[in-house]
């Protein structure tokens, strides 16, 4: 681990993503912006006559698709530049510029959906008969019609669209404050050397076998969060308030309903997850008890939750080693899948290591017409290998959908976004277990499997519950502040982890470090997707090619149907609690096996 972070210009270029695959230079990006604005000027001339004829409707839909595709492409370029160093003022300006343009265009073209909704169904059918090219847009029009009850007049849609840039303020403040302005102290590492604490180093420190390092990192990190907790609470409160505005102006009963309905998912799926997980907290409590036993401590603290339960087995995994192992593990998905993996690794789809100002965490992003891009903050840990496999799952999902679908149907809904990524992780873990001959190493891998259940099903549902409660508070007229946010979070944490876990005072501030709370009810999908992925991986490993074929059909489906229906192609039905119950039953079995091994 480097003692000080490198600046962006000090990073080995081969370890960075190649954004020239999008634009050879910033001037080309500027030219695309001009073209987008020019096409937008053409499109707005159709206001008031979208459904004047079959030809005008076609022109409107084609122009709209062109603008959306180009705008998404331009946004991704600016966003990737910004994320590689958020302290770069030029890239800050480009990112702000594209957000402003997106907000303006959203307002300018907001007349389209209301005018389509005002068009009589019989008239639309006449248009389809007269203009065969409109067949491509039938599903898109039906999706617009599905949201009719929550679509406003053209004038009101324009007003709401004008709030888009303002509505991003809370998340922009949070990102800038936590990634650029907030500074953490140094702590002593395992060797007794002073090392700067950062977002990227926090979890690796918590994974340390040295309990003093874990505790020092935990307390230093959250003590810093506590110093700024009122600012962070105000930022989150602002995020929730803007959601309330948008959900109410569109006639939704709650923020939750507005968020999930946008993805054509019922709120019952969300509530079913929280209910089913809470009914199965005994598995998490058993895991906590086993962790306490394995670590041999009188008291288990929250800073003990990341370190492996099985000691002296964890080893560093270099980025090169991770690539090789991932390709072997995912060979069950076919030669075409593995060749794409190798292409991504070899051709700089990935920004690998942490540098000053770089966005924390990891993600995959893609723009139609270019390969996916992945951001990592690789630290040579076992978990980093799994993160790489996870993000490659996102990238492959995007590649398959973009290759199979026209632009307007290529963007799969967020609800299914975590299925492919998690399936990759599970297949990697099952591969490692299958090829493991050492009893202690198997125990270590089972530990990792349990940590995945803990971190993805239970932890994300814990987040989902916190998000639901805090949004409902604002909806009911209550205010959010540092004190009640921290109290709510700590209470949920105590309930989830049970009596064998000491919920340290510092854990009350953990909500403030979770950027996903600004993603509008995103996190529950990690949990539902994990449960779906457990089922899909099992089918792939037991059935072979038929299951792989179904899975790739799902990956290639984009947003051609409701996400719950698309998952049924792969063999999973999340309209019932069965996949969640089955996944948590599997966790219970793994806990018992690990208990026997240790």
Distance of CA 412 to the CA centre of its chain: 13
The question of whether 391 is a catalytic residue gets the answer yes
Can you list the domains of the chain with their CATH numbers? 8-167 (1.20.140.70), 228-315+325-332+339-346+414-598 (1.10.1370.20)
Cα pseudo-dihedral 378, 72, 235, 478, rounded to 10: -120
Query: So what's the pLDDT on residue 1?
Result: 44
Q: Give 547's pLDDT tier (boundaries 50, 70, 90).
A: very high
Q: How many CB atoms lie within 10 A of CB 147?
A: 14
Q: How confident is the model at residue 3 (pLDDT cuts 50, 70, 90)?
A: low
Task: Measure the CA–CA gap between 537 and 291, rounded to whole angstroms.
Answer: 26
- Encode pLDDT of 115-151 as tens digits: 999 999 999 999 999 999 999 999 999 999 999 889 8
Average pLDDT over residues 361-365: 95
Give the model confidence (pLDDT) of 220-241 as tens digits.
999 999 999 999 999 999 999 9
- Report the percent of the chain where pLDDT is more than 90: 89
Range in 67-81, 152-166, 523-537 the model is least confident about: 152-166
Residue 253: CB atoms within 10 Å: 11
Residue 109 carries which DSSP code?
A: T
**Active-site residue identified among 257, 391, 425, 430:** 391
Residues 6+ apart with CB under 8 A from 325: 317, 385, 428, 431, 432
pLDDT value, residue 164: 86
Q: State how far the Cα of 326 lies from the Cα of 543, in Å rounded to an integer.
A: 21
Q: What pLDDT, on a 0 to 100 scale, did the predictor assign at position 197? A: 94
What pLDDT score does 196 carry? 93
Nearest residue to 150 via CA among 62, 262, 33? 262
The pLDDT value recorded for residue 185 is: 95
Three-class SS state of 175: helix
Mean pLDDT along residues 470-479: 97
pLDDT, average across residues 520-530? 93
Q: Tell me, what's the pLDDT at 507?
A: 98
Residue 2 has pLDDT above 70, yes or no: no
The whole-number pLDDT of residue 245 equals 96
Cα–Cα distance, 136 to 335 (Å, whole number)? 32
Residues 6+ apart with CB under 8 A from 493: 302, 462, 503, 507, 508, 510
The mean per-residue pLDDT over the stretch 301-328 comes to 92
Average pLDDT, stretch 318-338? 97
Distance of alpha carbon 304 from alpha carbon 315, whole angstroms? 18
Between 500 and 4, the higher pLDDT residue: 500
Mean pLDDT, the chain, rounded, equals 95
> Quick check: 78 pLDDT over 60?
yes
Report how far apart, in Å, the C-alpha atoms of 434 and of each of 337, 383, 428, 573, 598 are.
21, 19, 10, 28, 19
C-alpha distances in Å from residue 17, one per residue of 1, 84, 306, 352, 521:
21, 9, 29, 8, 29
Contacts of 205 (CB under 8 A, 6+ apart): 187, 189, 197, 213, 214, 216, 217
Q: Output Rg (C-alpha) for the chain, integer angstroms.
A: 24
- Average pLDDT score over residue span 434-461: 93
- Mean pLDDT throughout 502-524? 96
Buried b / exposed e over 343-380, threshold 16 CB at 10 Å, is ebbeebbbbbbbbbbbbbbbebbbbbebbbbbbbbbbb
pLDDT at position 570, please? 96
């Amino acid at each position: 681990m480097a003692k000080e972070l490198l600046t962006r210009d000090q990073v080995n270029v081969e370890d960075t993503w190649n954004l020239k695959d999008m634009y050879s230079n910033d001037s080309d990006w500027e030219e695309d912006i001009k073209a987008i604005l020019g096409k937008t000027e053409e499109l707005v001339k159709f206001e008031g006559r979208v459904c004047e004829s079959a030809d005008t409707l076609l022109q409107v839909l084609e122009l709209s698709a062109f603008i959306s595709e180009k705008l998404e492409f331009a946004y991704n370029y600016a966003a990737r530049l910004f994320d590689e160093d958020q302290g770069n003022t030029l890239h800050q300006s480009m990112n702000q510029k594209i957000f402003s343009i997106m907000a303006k265009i959203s307002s300018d073209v907001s007349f389209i959906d209301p005018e389509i909704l005002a068009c009589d169904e019989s008239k639309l059918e006449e248009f389809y008969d007269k203009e065969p090219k409109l067949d491509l847009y039938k599903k898109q029009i039906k999706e617009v019609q599905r949201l009719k009850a929550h679509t406003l007049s053209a004038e009101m849609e324009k007003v709401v669209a004008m709030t888009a840039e303002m509505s991003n303020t809370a998340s922009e403040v949070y990102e800038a404050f936590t990634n650029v302005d907030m500074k953490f102290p140094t702590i002593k590492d395992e060797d007794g050397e002073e090392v700067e604490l950062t977002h990227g180093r926090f979890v690796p420190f918590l994974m340390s076998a040295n309990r003093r390092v874990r505790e020092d990192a935990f307390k230093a990190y959250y003590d810093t969060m506590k110093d700024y907790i009122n600012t962070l609470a105000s930022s989150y409160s602002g995020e929730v308030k803007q959601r309330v505005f948008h959900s109410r102006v569109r006639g939704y009963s709650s923020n939750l309903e507005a968020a999930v309905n946008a993805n054509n998912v019922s709120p019952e799926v969300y509530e079913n997850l929280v209910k089913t997980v809470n009914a199965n907290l005994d598995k998490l409590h058993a895991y906590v008890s086993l962790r306490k036993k394995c670590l041999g401590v009188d008291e288990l603290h929250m800073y003990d939750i990341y370190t492996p339960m099985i000691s002296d087995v964890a080893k560093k995994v270099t980025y090169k080693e991770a690539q090789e192992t991932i390709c072997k593990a995912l060979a069950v998905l076919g030669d075409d899948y593995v060749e794409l993996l190798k292409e991504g690794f070899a051709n700089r789809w990935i920004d690998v290591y942490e540098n000053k100002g770089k966005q924390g965490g990891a993600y995959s992003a893609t723009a139609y017409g270019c390969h996916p891009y992945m951001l990592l903050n690789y630290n040579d840990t076992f978990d980093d290998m799994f993160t790489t496999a996870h993000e490659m799952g996102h990238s492959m999902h995007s590649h398959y959908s973009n290759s199979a679908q026209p632009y307007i149907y290529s963007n799969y809904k967020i609800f299914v976004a975590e299925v492919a990524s998690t399936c990759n992780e599970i297949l990697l873990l099952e591969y490692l277990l299958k090829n493991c001959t050492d009893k202690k190493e198997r125990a270590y891998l089972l530990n990792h499997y349990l940590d995945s259940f803990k971190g993805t099903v239970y932890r994300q549902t814990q987040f989902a519950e916190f998000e639901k409660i805090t949004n409902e508070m604002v909806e009911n007229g209550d205010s959010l502040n540092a004190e009640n946010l921290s109290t709510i979070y700590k209470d949920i944490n105590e309930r989830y982890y049970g009596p064998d876990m000491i919920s340290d005072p510092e854990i009350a501030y953990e909500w403030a470090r979770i950027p996903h709370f600004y993603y509008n009810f995103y996190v529950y999908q990690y949990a539902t997707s994990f449960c779906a992925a457990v089922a899909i991986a099992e089918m792939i490993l037991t059935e072979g090619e038929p299951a792989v074929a179904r899975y790739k059909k799902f990956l290639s489906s984009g947003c051609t149907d409701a996400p719950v229906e698309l998952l049924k192609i792969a063999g999973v039905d999340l309209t019932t609690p069965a996949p969640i119950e089955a996944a948590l039953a599997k966790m219970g079995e793994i806990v018992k096996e690990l208990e026997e091994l240790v």
